Chains A and B, each alone.
Chain A
Amino acid sequence: MLKTNKMMKIIFLPILLFFLFFLIVPLLYMFWQSIKIGNIITIQNYLDALKNIEIRRSFLNSFKVSFAASVFTTILAFLLAYAIHFTTMHRHTKKLVHIGITLPMLLPTITYGFVLIYTFGNQGILTKLIGQPLFTVYGYNGLVIGYVLYTLPVAFILMQNSMQYIDKRFLLVSMLMHDRPLRRFYHTVFRPMLGTIGGAFILTFILSFTDFGIPASVGGNYRVIATELYQAMLGSIVHFERGAVISVLMLVPAVIGVAMLTILERFNFQYKQAGQSELVKHRLRDGLFTAYSIVCVVVVFIIFSTMFIVPFTKGYPYDFSFTLEHVQNVLSEQDLTKVYVNSLIVAVLTAVLGVVITFLSALLNARTPLKGRKSLDLASMITNTVPGMVLGLSYLFFFNGSSLKGTFLIIIACNIVHFFTTPYLMAKNSLQKMDPTWEVTAELLRDSWLKTVIRIILPNIRPTIYQMFSYYFLNAMVTVSGVIFLVSTKTMLVSTRIKELQHFAKYTDIFVLSIFILCTNLIVKLGCDYITTHKEKVKEMSK
């Protein structure tokens, strides 16, 4: 067995301190703020907040609109994943669904709102085509559509990943047993997916409930809890205690949701192996699902197409002639290019430092006997639960007087903590899959532990490292809710700058900046995917 050594402890200590100062203490401090008035400890703040009709209504609104959005998202995502894995739809169509549905992930959610306004609003493209608006986009409708667009990729990825591991031969067994379609569907797809369906529902609910970008852009007068929190902290009258109370209240559904996810795990069962078997062709089914998939992708494309039309037309919606004027304007405005550079700096540093911290955490957790290594799992669970806005707010409280305030460093730290869970689990999974005897073998060959990590572990986990990098980079590039409370005039980012541009109704600038983000993310994502698969291919060829 591998023994704990000094090196492991030397690495462990700073990680532990990092989580202490950038996760645990700020959250506790915020909680402390919520239960005191002056120097007295009291629950009066909570009573005040709960008595406040506006807060109650916002809370209820958040529930209603998130619930509706999650119902839609879960159904849509399930059907899309079903089309991928249980129909003999053409493989190009399957590929199209993959790309089309997940593409919006490369954009900040705040852009979603503006894109919706330009599609369904009074001057919207669809409105122009039809002649009158289909519905009012501001408020409830816009929020539901925005949340669905935002959470559909996540739910889809989750479901299609889970369906991939369903043993397809059960379809065959069911056919041989002369099942009717409904019974077949229940036993071979629905029941095995039950845990995932529940999980996807809860996850989309929490994401919608805590998102700030969409209500900030398309919420209108329909107040939700995220906008309420923003108002309390950065509105015309600042209510610190109220802000603290709202963010604690915002944590409640998140905590319940994560607890429910753990319970739902029990509904999942693992198939020993995912037996591949030919799916039986069924013209009607395949035709219907192809049509459905294409409609979904086309709708996403239509909605987001405005983003590419508006900034390249002279005077939307009156003059549709092509122009590069707006793009040139943005490029010539130092202010905007600086914001873009800021975003790049933050994203790169978040990705590099984030990968280092998540990799080391996963390494200590999965491949050493270090005492207290389970605390890293706990950290990952907490970061998974705490919404970005709440985390950002807790930093605002805790680091208010410190020199960290208004620096890039605090934004980067917030991003690393906020998005910690996914890359940590990615690293942990691949580390656990590696042969457990490597360290001992290397030790017998006279390698030190650190040398083993560098010579054996790192080369083998490289593809996962690229994917972790890409995850951190993209999210740091698009996040609004995590950093809205932390940016200063000097550290302004593209996503938060968009929020400001809204006040001046500079929508073309918003779209140009969004295109910048999209292109940057696309390059990073494709680059990371390319080296990941390229290395794999080289490996396979040399076998």
Chain B
Amino acid sequence: MLVLKNISKSYKDKEVLVDINITIESGEIISLLGPSGCGKTTLLNIILGLTEQTAGQLIYNGQDISKNTMQERGFNIVFQDFALFPHLNAYDNIVYGLKNKSVQMSKEEVQEYIDFLELTPHLHKKIHELSGGQKQRVSIARTLVMQPKILLLDEPLSALDGVIKESIKERIKLIAREFNLTTIIVTHDPEEALTLSDKVLIINEGTVAQFGTPQEIVSAPKNQFVEDFILRQLHIKRHNIYQLFGETYA
């Protein structure tokens, strides 16, 4: 369980985040949703330990980790464009971090992760030979073998095209369930956030606009912002799709 208590962040006199309070249960998938510049990436970096908050506390399983370094926290992140080392092949990227661990993971265990992500046929390919979806899975595998306590995903779907998107979504859900892994996702796409996560944190101009399950957000938007910027987009999408297929497909 991760608790964010009164988290605030300001640069000089510019406030980026103001008084964020949320509780994330273990094994949940949480989305941080909002327009660009709303502070969601800053919040992700604060959880990761890369950026220090100006005020507030982070409590993980009852322990105050506010002052812990990135390495001490043991969370891990998958970047938007995957950040795979271009001079190593897929396999060497996956096992990159294992060489630094004192307790070694057996080959079979590594293979389990590889099988789970269906990467066996691509292990000896160079990074530039992989497709977007394959790169994404290699990057996830590299992070998972480090057995992070919390998995952070920065815009995980934005670099992928249509069909792959849906399958990666399913994969992310599967990972969270299979490893009981708390997963925090940053996204600017309401559809992505609401179909992928257990709970969504909507951020606007550094403050919480609403925090709740997709159902709660759709049925009871808390304010005008949620209504205008989140729900309207979905309504337009729904309208377009109805027009294409007809109401019967609803």
Decide whether A and B assemble into one complex. yes
- Comparing A174-182, A377-385, A471-479, the segment that makes contact with chain B is A174-182
Query: A178-B101, A191-B87, A269-B86 are known contacts. Are A275 and B146 too (CB-CB below 8 A)?
Result: no
Query: A191-B87, A269-B87 are known contacts. Are A176 and B146 too (CB-CB below 8 A)?
Result: yes
The yes or no answer to A273 lying at the interface (CB within 8 A) is yes
> Which residues of B82-107 are within 8 A (CB) of A?
83, 85-87, 96-97, 99-101
Contacts of A177 in B (CB 8 A): 96-97, 100, 142, 146
**Chain A contact surface mostly:** loop
Are B83 and A173 in contact (CB-based, < 8 A)?
Answer: yes
Q: Whole-angstrom distance between the alpha carbons of A272 and B85 in the complex?
A: 12
Q: Mark contacts of A155-193 with chain B using CB atoms, 8 A cut-off: 1 yes-contact digit, 0 otherwise.
A: 000000000000101101101111110010001000110
Are A278 and B79 in contact (CB-based, < 8 A)?
Answer: no
The yes or no answer to B114 lying at the interface (CB within 8 A) is no
Q: Mark contacts of B157-171 with chain A using CB atoms, 8 A cut-off: 1 yes-contact digit, 0 otherwise.
A: 000000000000000
Contacts of A183 in B (CB 8 A): 99-100
Are A272 and B81 in contact (CB-based, < 8 A)?
Answer: yes
Among A176, A177, A273, the most chain B Cβ lie within 10 Å of the Cβ of A176
Contacts of A192 in B (CB 8 A): 86-87
| Chain B min CB distance to A275 (Å) | 7
Are A178 and B50 in contact (CB-based, < 8 A)?
Answer: no
Interface residue from B76, B83, B97 paired with A275 (Cβ < 8 Å)? B83
Smallest Cβ-Cβ distance to A187: which chain B residue: B85
Query: A175-B70, A177-B97 are known contacts. Are A170 and B85 too (CB-CB below 8 A)?
Result: yes
Query: A172-B50, A278-B50, A278-B51 are known contacts. Are A178 and B83 too (CB-CB below 8 A)?
Result: no
The yes or no answer to A318 lying at the interface (CB within 8 A) is no
Q: Whole-angstrom distance between the alpha carbons of A70 and B72 in the complex?
A: 42
Interface residue from B51, B83, B99 paired with A170 (Cβ < 8 Å)? B83
In this complex, how many residues of chain A approach chain B with their Cβ under 8 Å: the count is 23
Smallest Cβ-Cβ distance to A277: which chain B residue: B50
Are B83 and A167 in contact (CB-based, < 8 A)?
Answer: yes
The yes or no answer to A504 lying at the interface (CB within 8 A) is no
> Which residues of A256-295 are within 8 A (CB) of B?
269, 271-273, 275, 277-278, 280
Are B85 and A275 in contact (CB-based, < 8 A)?
Answer: no
Interface residue from B76, B81, B99, B142 paired with A273 (Cβ < 8 Å)? B81
Q: Whole-angstrom distance between the alpha carbons of A400 and B164 in the complex?
A: 71
Q: Whole-angstrom distance between the alpha carbons of A173 and B86 in the complex?
A: 13
The yes or no answer to B71 lying at the interface (CB within 8 A) is yes
> Which residues of A17-66 are within 8 A (CB) of B?
none
| Chain A min CB distance to B2 (Å) | 17
Contacts of A191 in B (CB 8 A): 87
Q: Mark contacts of B132-167 with chain A using CB atoms, 8 A cut-off: 1 yes-contact digit, 0 otherwise.
A: 000000000010001000000000000000000000
Contacts of A187 in B (CB 8 A): 85, 87
Contacts of B100 in A (CB 8 A): 177-180, 183
Q: Whole-angstrom distance between the alpha carbons of A178 and B100 in the complex?
A: 6
The yes or no answer to B77 lying at the interface (CB within 8 A) is yes
| Chain A min CB distance to B130 (Å) | 13
| Chain A min CB distance to B8 (Å) | 18
Are B70 and A275 in contact (CB-based, < 8 A)?
Answer: no
Q: Whole-angstrom distance between the alpha carbons of A269 and B70 in the complex?
A: 28
Are B70 and A176 in contact (CB-based, < 8 A)?
Answer: yes
Contacts of A170 in B (CB 8 A): 83, 85
Interface residue from A176, A180, A272, A278 paired with B76 (Cβ < 8 Å)? A176
Q: Mark contacts of B47-85 with chain A using CB atoms, 8 A cut-off: 1 yes-contact digit, 0 otherwise.
A: 000110000000000000000001100001101010101
Are A275 and B87 in contact (CB-based, < 8 A)?
Answer: no
Query: A177-B96, A278-B51 are known contacts. Are A169 and B86 too (CB-CB below 8 A)?
Result: no
Q: Mark contacts of A178-221 with chain B using CB atoms, 8 A cut-off: 1 yes-contact digit, 0 otherwise.
A: 11100100010001100000000000000000000000000000
Q: Whole-angstrom distance between the alpha carbons of A192 and B87 in the complex?
A: 8
Contacts of B81 in A (CB 8 A): 272-273, 275
Interface residue from A175, A275, A277 paired with B71 (Cβ < 8 Å)? A175
Query: A175-B71, A180-B100 are known contacts. Are A169 and B83 too (CB-CB below 8 A)?
Result: yes
Smallest Cβ-Cβ distance to B45: which chain A residue: A278
Q: Whole-angstrom distance between the alpha carbons of A176 and B154 in the complex?
A: 15
Q: Whole-angstrom distance between the alpha carbons of A175 and B100 in the complex?
A: 11
Contacts of B87 in A (CB 8 A): 187, 191-192, 269
| Chain A min CB distance to B202 (Å) | 25
Contacts of B96 in A (CB 8 A): 177
Are B77 and A176 in contact (CB-based, < 8 A)?
Answer: yes
Smallest Cβ-Cβ distance to B126: which chain A residue: A269
Q: Whole-angstrom distance between the alpha carbons of A178 and B103 in the complex?
A: 13
| Chain B min CB distance to A175 (Å) | 6
| Chain A min CB distance to B157 (Å) | 17
Are B79 and A169 in contact (CB-based, < 8 A)?
Answer: yes
Contacts of A269 in B (CB 8 A): 86-87
> Which residues of A387-403 are within 8 A (CB) of B?
none
Contacts of B50 in A (CB 8 A): 172, 277-278, 280
Q: Whole-angstrom distance between the alpha carbons of A275 and B96 in the complex?
A: 20
Smallest Cβ-Cβ distance to B127: which chain A residue: A269
| Chain A min CB distance to B134 (Å) | 15
Among A175, A178, A179, A275, the most chain B Cβ lie within 10 Å of the Cβ of A178
Q: Whole-angstrom distance between the alpha carbons of A280 and B96 in the complex?
A: 21
Among A177, A269, A272, A277, the most chain B Cβ lie within 10 Å of the Cβ of A177
Query: A176-B71, A178-B97 are known contacts. Are A275 and B79 too (CB-CB below 8 A)?
Result: yes
Contacts of B85 in A (CB 8 A): 170, 173, 187
The 10 A-B pairs at the shortest CB distance, nearest first, are namely A177-B97, A178-B100, A269-B86, A169-B83, A176-B76, A173-B83, A191-B87, A179-B100, A177-B96, A178-B71
22 contacts between A and B (CB under 8 A): A167-B83, A169-B83, A170-B83, A170-B85, A172-B50, A173-B79, A173-B85, A176-B70, A176-B97, A177-B146, A178-B97, A178-B146, A179-B97, A180-B100, A183-B99, A187-B85, A187-B87, A191-B87, A192-B87, A272-B81, A275-B81, A275-B83
In the complex, besides A177-B142, A187-B87, A275-B83, 10 extra interface pairs with C-beta distance below 8 angstroms are A167-B83, A170-B85, A175-B70, A176-B76, A177-B100, A179-B100, A183-B100, A192-B87, A275-B79, A278-B51
